[in-house]
Structures are given as C-alpha cells and as structure tokens.
Amino acid sequence: DVEAFIHTIEASAAKRFKAVVKPVEGAGSDGVTICNSAAEVRLAFGKLEGTKNILGLDNYAVLCQEYLEGDEWVVDTVSRAGEHKVVALWKYDKRDYHGSPVVYHGMRLHNVEADEPLLRGMVAYVTAVLNALGITDGAMHSEIMATARGPVLVEVNCRLHGGEGIWLPIAEACLGYTQVSALCDSAFAQPAFASLPATPRSPLLKHGAWVTIRSPADGTITAVHHEKLARIRALPSFLGEYCAPCIKVGCRIRQTVDATTVHGCFNLVHADAATLEADYRVAQQLIDEGLFAFTPAAAGEKDVVRVETPKGPRFSYQLSEQEQVQNSLWGLQHIWRPLEENSGAVPLRKLRAVRRSGWRF
C-alpha cells in the first residue's frame, strides 16, 4: 500500500514530491512527518509501524496523505437530531520551529464574517461532510485545509476541541458560549441549543487568540525570565495563562516538536482586533527570544525524566530503545524503565499523579 501511494504521488502532476505520513489514530501532530521523497515516506512508515502513540494505542497502520498547501482551520460543531451548529472557527498558526515542521504557535478565533467568501464555503463543506458521514448528534472537531482548489478535509474527530480546554475562556469571552456548553444544551436544554446561531455569533463580543509556550531544545532550566513573563501579562489583551509545572529552575524541559510538547499558553482577548493582533506579535516575539534559560541535556541524560513526589522520593525513568522514535511524553504506557535499582517498574500512567510536583506527564 505504501508503494502504491508513492506511485500515485510520483505519477501526479505535482511539481515536487511532498506527502504526509502519520498514525491512523493519534493526537496533537504526534508522529506526523512531512516527506519530500519516496525514501522519506518509507522511513517514516518504518518508524511508526508497530510503535505506540501518545494515546497508548498501537500504530497498527499508517496513514499516507496528500500534502495540502494552505492555512489550516478548525471547525467545531455540535449536532442534535441532524441539525448542525458551527460553534467556533479557529485558524491554526502552525510553523516550522527549530526543524519541526508542524509546531503550534497559536490559534485565533473567528466568525464567518471575518472572511465570508472563504468561511461561508468552509461551513457548507463541513456540514456536507457531517451529513455524508451520517453524523446526527454530538460534538465534532473537524480540521480543514483552505487550499487553492477550496476546502479539503484533513480529519473529523468525534470529540470536543482538545488542548485540555485551555481555549474555553477565549470562547466564553468572545462568543458568550462554548462547544462544551452547546453540547450540554443539546442534551439537557434543547430550547437553549435551538437558540444558538448556526455559525459563531456576529459581531463577536471580543477578539481572541492563544499563544503557545515553546522550548527550542531538551535541557534543564537554569533561570526563568520573569521580566518577559511580566511583559506578556501586562499586555492589554492578556486574559490568563497556563504554565506547565516543569517551567521552574532545576526541572527538565522537552523540546517542542508538536502539540503534546507545548509547555503552556497565554490566552489573549480584546475588544479591538488591532490591539489583539499587536499583542499576539509581541507575545510570539518574547517566546521566541526565550522565556527561560537552560543547559542542554547531557548525552547520558537524554530522554530521562526525574520526578519528585510530595513526600520526597525521587524516581528516574528513561525511554526504552524501541520507543525512542516517539516525540511525546503524554499518554505513553509501559515504555519507561527505572534507572535506579529497586525503584520498580512503574507505568507512566501511574506517574501522572505526581506530575504537578515535577515533570509534566
């Protein structure tokens, strides 16, 4: 099947070879590889086949996709009895970051009126996709590429918008409702659901976006630049933040390569779109300059996680050799081995209980 896919790309009218290889079931760009040759497709397939993804699921198959040029959008919907409500439109800001091609830098909330020719067509397209899939009820998180030939489906996820809900305060401030509240209304307050607009409210109450906290490499934090954090918190559009517990002196931090190795975010909301845009640029610049200093991981410390529990014991775990192709620390199970004698083989999921006291699992 992989060879047939490669032949399809090579036989197409594309000016250059480019394809995407990723797990069939996954999240947060984990395991996603952009390939520029047939050899890179084969290599990406070999690295994924038979491994575990960040959800702890076996990669029993690999998805090979056409590479799509354009901006990536999210269309969040809630449906009831075949009636689809588009409750949010988010535009991803994904860019290359120190060699990783699809790193989340942030996302911005929009309504249809922000770009009516584009987004009105995208809403109609997603609604048609939901109907074609036979989806009549529930929350859906659809990812769409806005290409030169029109909207093209990347995937439909049968779930709420993810990201641990860090986007909820933005949606509430800008729309007055969220995908979560809409889903609750669809089940328990049907008149309220019926009163929701078919697309995100216009005009927006405010304009909103979030910005991710990133690390350019693995290492141990030696200093946190509190003056830069203070500048972001002083922005007119600053709404709130989530900083992972690992952002403190002495903690190990992982290089940001995908959504699951993002180390937090800043939520931005303002009534004036131009103010929000200016603040977004300032926050991105400060993050790129670095919110913390760190020493690179030593050769013997690469992929080592040290966790200190509230009672004091410390444990060290390191990725096993067969799993080193994985980028993320979230959701992996049964692949960490203890480095100290007699510390016991503890699955990663059991270490999540102490994540707030050390490394972020």
Q: Is the peptide bond before 117 cis (omega within 30 degrees of 0)?
A: no
Q: What are phi and psi of 131, to 5 degrees?
A: -65, -40
Residue 157 and residue 135 in contact, taking contact as beta carbons nearer than 8 Å:
no
Q: Which of 259, 273, 264, 262 is nearest to 109 (CA)?
A: 273
DSSP E strand stretches across the chain = 19-23, 33-35, 62-66, 71-80, 83-97, 100-110, 138-147, 150-157, 207-212, 219-224, 238-243, 252-253, 264-270, 292-296, 304-308, 314-319, 336-338
Q: What is the pTM of this model?
A: 0.78
What integer pLDDT is reported at residue 169 of this predicted model? 96
The confidence score (pLDDT) of residue 53 equals 66
**Degrees, nearest 5: CA angle 269-104-142:** 85
| Structure token digits, residue 59 | 């990669």
Give the residues of the chain that fall short of pLDDT 70.
13-14, 26-30, 52-57, 299-361
Q: Which of 179, 162, 194 is nearest to 80 (CA)?
A: 194
Q: How far is CA 131 from the centre of its chain?
A: 26
Query: Would you state the pLDDT for residue 81?
Result: 97
Alpha-carbon gap, residue 178 to 205, rounded angstroms = 13
The helix (H) or strand (E) run that includes residue 183 is: helix 179-188
> Do 258 and 163 form a contact (C-beta atoms < 8 A)?
no
Backbone angles phi, psi at 17, to 5 degrees: -75, 125
Indicate the helix (H) or strand (E) that contains 194. helix 190-195
Q: How many CA atoms lie within 13 A of 287 on its CB side?
A: 25
Q: Which residues of 102-129 are buried (b: 16+ CB within 10 A; e: fewer)?
A: bbbbbbbbbbbebeeebbeebbebbbeb
